[in-house]
Structure 1
Amino acid sequence: MKIFVTGATGFVGSAIVDELRNRGHDIVGLARSESSANALSDAGLNVHRGNIADPESVTSALSQVDAVIHTAFNHDFSRYLENCEADGRLLDALARALEGTDKALIATSVTIVTPSGELSTENDRALDQVPRSASEAFLDYANRGVQTSVVRLPPSVHGAGDTAFVPALIALARKRGVSAYVDDGANRWPAVHRDDAARLFCDAVERPRPAARYHAVAETGLPFREIAEAIGDGLGVPAESVPNDWAEVHFGWLAMFAAIDNPVSNDWTREATGWASREVGLISDMRNAGYFSTPSD
């Protein structure tokens, strides 16, 4: 197949591209900038110039491809609500453009759209009050001739080159001299290696299931205290509790994520696709994938 990938140069998107190529697919990568276009071209990929902030510039590629995997997202958390709404609008435009074609449109969502504090499953619909739920509204186009589905990613998608929440927690612990967790740190984070996640995206696009919600989760829920302790060990700083009412002061924009309790099942995903984790877990990866390197290393 010829597959259009948004976010093709990103942390998860580039792993998806590598896996698709290994499976013999042709790839068209979305490039916003000249540097991204050059990187894709140098890697031997087809390039489509466009910007996720301009849906028409993205949908113009769809007639040339057999399927779409959407991983691009603006991760400026100071504008998180706005960025989630924009992602929803882009997915709606993509789905409308694909209406009646029976082509697959696989998008990225997150596990934290499900209820907190209880084991969530793929049957759980995204909660309307969670901003990222906007990225799942397009699933309704499964009734209009589009093979829509989402792959939900956990708070930690880890591996060499990670720039998301765990590196941010490490940077904060290095700055403050303590690796913190909220209250007793029993709240749980699911996790997955980016290469495992990439394989699930590829499985989903090769064998689409209308309106499916997949959970790219290898570890159902690590107690956050264990993550904080691993950070403390890696930096040589203590791991200590901060009370919930002090979390925002200590963690800043990370406070919501540091306190979230998000255990997630992957039972249906494994049964439906045969997918299973092959890579190392988060704690082991933190020790061996350069998480504690400094820029001068």
Structure 2
Amino acid sequence: MRIFVTGATGFVGSAVVQELLGAGHKVLGLARSEEGTASLAAAGVEVHRGSVEDLESLRSGARASDAVIHTAFNHDFSKFKDNCELDRRAIEALGAALAGSDRRLIVTSAMGILPKGILSTEETAPVSGAQAHPRAATEEAAALVASRGVNVSVVRLPPSVHGDGDHAFVPHLIALARQKGVSAYLGEGTNRWPAVHRLDTAQLYRLVLEKGAAGGRYHAVAEEGIPLREIASAIGRRLNVPVGSKSQAEAALHFTWFERFVALDVPASSTRTREQLGWSPRQRGLLSDLEQGRYFDT
């Protein structure tokens, strides 16, 4: 199949591209820059110039493909809510191009939208109402395009998708520990982050493409929930800095905008995902990656 991949040069998207190519699929990769164009071309990917802000470029890429995998997301957290609404519009544009066909649209959601403090499954609905997470816009858009006849599936990613090249939550914890001289967690540090390696994630996207059900929700979870205190302890050990707790009153000053993510307690199961797709994560876990990977090379 010819697959249109948004976010094709990103941390997750680039792994998805390689997984698809290795399985014999052709890839049409979205690129917004000359650098991205060169990177995709060097990987043997057909390039489609555009961006998630350019909705017509999304529609034309989807129309030219047998399926779409949407991994792009703007991670500028200074305008997080705006970026979530941008994701809503992007999904609606992709869906409009696929309506009336059986071509699959796979969208990327996040487990931060799920209820806190319980072990969520693929059937667990996002928190709604006044407490809804801004990123819930992604699954709202997926439901909307599904109601219009689009064959859409959702892959939920955990707070930590780890591996070489990671530039998200765990690297930010490392940077904070370096900057402030302490590897910190919130309260008792018992809140849990599920985790998965990027290469296992890429395999899951391919399996959803090839075997997923219309309307299916899938969890990219290799580890159901790692207490944040254990993550902070591994970071402190590698940096040789103290490990300590921050109270709720101290958290805003220490973690700044990252406080809401440090407080996440969203353990999640992938049992149904594994059973339905035959997915079996094989890469090393997050704590092992912190010990053996390249997180502390710089």
> Into which bin does the TM-score normalised by the smaller protein fall?
over 0.9
Q: Which residue identity does 1:89 align to in structure 2?
A: R
Question: What residue in structure 1 maps to residue 240 of structure 2?
Answer: 236
Per-residue CA deviation, residues 181-230 of structure 1 (Å, 9 max, x unaligned), is 11110000100000001100110111231111100000000010000000
| Aligned 8 A contact 2:163 2:197 in 1 | yes
| Aligned 8 A contact 1:190 1:218 in 2 | yes
Per-residue CA deviation, residues 132-171 of structure 1 (Å, 9 max, x unaligned), is 0111123333343321011100000000010000001000
1:137 aligns with 2:140: yes
How many residues align? The count is 294
Q: Which residue identity does 2:252 align to in structure 1?
A: E
Structure 1 residue 3: Cα displacement: 0.3
Q: Which residue identity does 1:14 align to in structure 2?
A: S
| Aligned 8 A contact 1:59 1:97 in 2 | yes
Structure 1: how far apart are the matches of 2:101 and 2:164?
Answer: 38
| Aligned 8 A contact 1:95 1:138 in 2 | no
SS in 2 for 1:166: helix
Q: Mark the runs of 5 or more structure 2 residues left unpaired by the alignment.
A: none
Structure 1: how far apart are the matches of 2:244 and 2:142?
Answer: 42
Structure 1: how far apart are the matches of 2:252 and 2:297?
Answer: 26
SS in 2 for 1:19: helix
Structure 1: how far apart are the matches of 2:39 and 2:235?
Answer: 33
Q: Mark the runs of 5 or more structure 1 residues left unpaired by the alignment.
A: none
Per-residue CA deviation, residues 65-104 of structure 1 (Å, 9 max, x unaligned), is 1000000110000000000011011101111221111110
Structure 2: how far apart are the matches of 1:293 and 1:94?
Answer: 39
After superposing the two structures, state which structure 1 stretch, 126-135 or 72-81, moved more. Answer: 126-135
SS in 1 for 2:244: strand
| Aligned 8 A contact 1:188 1:262 in 2 | yes
Alignment of 1:16-35 (within 5 A): 16-35=16-35
Give the TM-score taking structure 1 as reference length.
0.97
Question: What residue in structure 1 maps to residue 295 of structure 2?
Answer: 291
| Aligned 8 A contact 1:5 1:30 in 2 | yes
Alignment of 1:1-297 (within 5 A): 1-128=1-128, 129-140=132-143, 141-294=145-298
Q: Which residue identity does 1:257 align to in structure 2?
A: F
| Aligned 8 A contact 2:91 2:142 in 1 | no
Structure 1: how far apart are the matches of 2:113 and 2:280?
Answer: 22
The Cα RMSD (Å) is: 1.0
Structure 1 segments, 4+ long, off by >3 Å, are: none
Per-residue CA deviation, residues 33-71 of structure 1 (Å, 9 max, x unaligned), is 111111111221101001101111211122221000000
